[in-house]
């Protein structure tokens, strides 16, 4: 009987150690798989974010280079056009001046005979020339304003088209990244694309509404992510609870089977012992009673230690699960905060660059208007000086001609009077 009890006890201890070893290996395998999966997910997420960011930076540099090239091309065309206009204006002024000098020579030749008639014609011609020059200047000014407005409109439309294309490409990149991260993110990206499109067309008017809607969308996305994470945590806890209940049920069945076997062995031992006790004396009977009490106390102590170890393992496992949940929640919160900071920084940089471009463009337009006003003022001053000089020279030449004519008339009168006096004297 002692040999059987020892053999049963050794098989029981060996089976218990084997079960503990199997459970420990399974727990270690699950834990290593979980850690490897978490590391792989984090590595893939980091590589995707880095790739998207590099693509975004390269696209930004390309767009800046392309816009600078277009601005330079437009500026060179504008400078060439201004030079051509100045050259044509100088040629017209030179041709008019040559014609004017020839006409002045002819007018001086004819002035001695028809001063008043030519003076009236000159005034009419001067008025006509002034009217024609005014019309030409007005036509040039209107053409320049129309061309400048067209250039501004064309540049504005090109900037808007480039800006919209940039927004659409950025939204499409963000849409692809979001679809690979989570399936629920697609709705958020579609709404984000619509909001960014509206904000691109109405940058200043709808900016505050865009920010409010952006915050609401981020809040909804965060709640969706939290709900999905909580569902995953609940599913993990349910699986763990089911596995724990299965292990407990198997363990309880094993304990019940062991107890039943022990009970049957005890009954057999008791029956055999009772038969033997009939043949033995009272001392042997008392020794059997002591052995049974010791054995029962040993069995109860083993059951207590086993239940205590199972409770410790469950407590450690629950603490480990709670710690993992806390770490995952903390990491998700950090990722959300980083992502929100990145979005806020991108919006601020975009607003700052748009403000700088608008300021540079307004300064360029103001400078061009000032240069045009200054050049027109100089041309008007030169033209008025030229007209005043022409009128002075004309007045001076007319005065000289009138003085010569009066001197000629007075001399003729004097000669006629002198000759008449001499004839009368001779006649008398």
Q: Could you read off the pLDDT of 286-344 as tens digits, one per residue?
A: 666 777 777 777 878 887 887 787 788 778 888 888 888 888 888 778 888 888 888 88
* 96 Cβ neighbours under 8 A, 6+ residues apart: none
Scan for tokens 């000159």, then name that residue. Answer: 122
Percent of the chain with pLDDT over 70: 90
Task: Judge contact between 170 and 195, C-beta under 8 A.
Answer: no
Q: Is the pLDDT of residue 406 over 80?
A: yes
Task: Judge contact between 191 and 221, C-beta under 8 A.
Answer: no
* 71 Cβ neighbours under 8 A, 6+ residues apart: 155
Task: Judge contact between 321 and 240, C-beta under 8 A.
Answer: yes
Check residue 108 and give its pLDDT: 67
**What is the arithmetic mean of pLDDT over 200-209?**
71
**Relative orientation angle of helices 115-181 and 2-111, to the nearest 10 degrees:** 170
Check residue 111 and give its pLDDT: 61
Task: Judge contact between 316 and 244, C-beta under 8 A.
Answer: no
Cα 22 from Cα 155, distance rounded (Å):
74
Cα 174 from Cα 217, distance rounded (Å):
15
DSSP 189-221: HHHHHHHHHHHHHSTTTSHHHHHHHHHHHHHHH
Check residue 128 and give its pLDDT: 81
Cα 357 from Cα 367, distance rounded (Å):
15
Cα 62 → chain centroid: 15
Question: Residue 69: which H helix or E strand, with range?
Answer: helix 2-111
Give Cα separations from 36 to 31, 41, 369 (angstroms).
9, 9, 67
Q: Which residues of 121-146 are buried (b: 16+ CB within 10 A; e: fewer)?
A: ebeeeeeeeeeeeeeeeeeeeeeeee
Question: Residue 131: which H helix or E strand, with range?
Answer: helix 115-181
pLDDT in tens, 232-291: 777 777 777 777 777 777 777 777 788 787 777 767 777 777 777 777 766 666 666 777
pTM for this structure? 0.25
Residue 126 tokens, joined:
């001067």
Cα 332 → chain centroid: 23
Q: Which residues of 264-302 are buried (b: 16+ CB within 10 A; e: fewer)?
A: eebeebeeebeeebeeeeeeeeeebeeeeeeeeeeeeee
Cα 163 from Cα 266, distance rounded (Å):
90
Residue 153 tokens, joined:
């409109």
Range from 29-43, 48-62, 225-239, 376-390 carrying the lowest mean pLDDT: 225-239
Task: Judge contact between 156 and 164, C-beta under 8 A.
Answer: no
**Which of 1, 6, 12 shows the shortest CA–CA distance to 259?**
12
**Which of 164, 167, 192, 165 shows the shortest CA–CA distance to 178?**
192
**What is the arithmetic mean of pLDDT over 56-83?**
76
pLDDT band for position 171 (cuts 50, 70, 90): confident
Check residue 107 and give its pLDDT: 67
Cα 428 from Cα 422, distance rounded (Å):
10
Residue 214 tokens, joined:
């952006």
């Amino acid at each position: 009987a002692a040999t059987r009890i020892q053999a049963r006890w050794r098989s029981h201890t060996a089976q218990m150690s084997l079960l503990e070893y199997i459970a420990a290996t399974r727990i270690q395998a699950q834990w290593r798989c979980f850690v490897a999966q978490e590391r792989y997910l984090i590595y893939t997420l980091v590589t995707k974010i880095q790739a998207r960011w590099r693509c975004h930076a390269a696209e930004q540099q390309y767009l800046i280079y392309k816009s600078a090239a277009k601005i330079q091309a437009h500026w060179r065309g504008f400078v060439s056009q201004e030079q051509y206009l100045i050259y044509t204006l100088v040629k017209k002024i030179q041709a008019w001046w040559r014609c004017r000098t020839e006409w002045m020579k002819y007018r001086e030749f004819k002035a001695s005979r028809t001063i008043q008639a030519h003076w009236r014609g000159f005034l009419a011609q001067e008025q006509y020339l002034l009217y024609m020059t005014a019309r030409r200047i007005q036509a040039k000014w209107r053409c320049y304003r129309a061309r400048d407005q067209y250039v501004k409109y064309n540049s504005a439309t090109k900037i808007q088209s480039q800006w919209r294309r940039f927004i659409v490409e950025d939204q499409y990149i963000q849409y692809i990244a979001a679809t690979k991260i989570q399936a629920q993110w697609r709705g958020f990206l579609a709404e984000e694309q619509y909001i960014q499109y509206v904000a691109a067309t109405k940058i200043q008017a709808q900016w505050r509404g865009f920010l409010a809607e952006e915050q609401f969308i981020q809040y909804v996305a965060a709640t969706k992510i939290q709900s999905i994470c909580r569902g995953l945590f609940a599913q993990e806890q349910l699986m763990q609870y089911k596995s724990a209940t299965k292990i407990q049920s198997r363990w309880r069945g094993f304990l019940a089977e062991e107890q039943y076997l022990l009970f049957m062995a005890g009954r057999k031992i008791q029956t055999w012992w009772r038969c033997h006790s009939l043949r033995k004396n009272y001392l042997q009977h008392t020794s059997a009673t002591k052995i049974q009490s010791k054995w029962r106390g040993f069995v109860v102590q083993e059951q207590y230690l086993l239940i205590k170890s199972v409770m410790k393992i469950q407590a450690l496992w629950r603490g480990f699960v709670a710690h993992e949940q806390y770490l995952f929640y903390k990491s998700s919160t950090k990722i959300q905060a980083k992502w929100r900071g990145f979005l806020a920084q991108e919006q601020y940089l975009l607003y700052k660059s748009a403000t700088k471009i608008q300021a540079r463009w307004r300064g360029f337009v103001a400078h061009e208007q000032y240069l045009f006003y200054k050049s027109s003022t100089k041309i008007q001053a030169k033209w008025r000086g030229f007209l005043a000089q022409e009128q002075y020279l004309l007045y001076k030449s007319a005065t000289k001609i009138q003085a010569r004519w009066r001197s000629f008339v007075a001399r003729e009168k004097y000669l006629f009077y002198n000759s008449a006096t001499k004839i009368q004297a001779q006649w008398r």
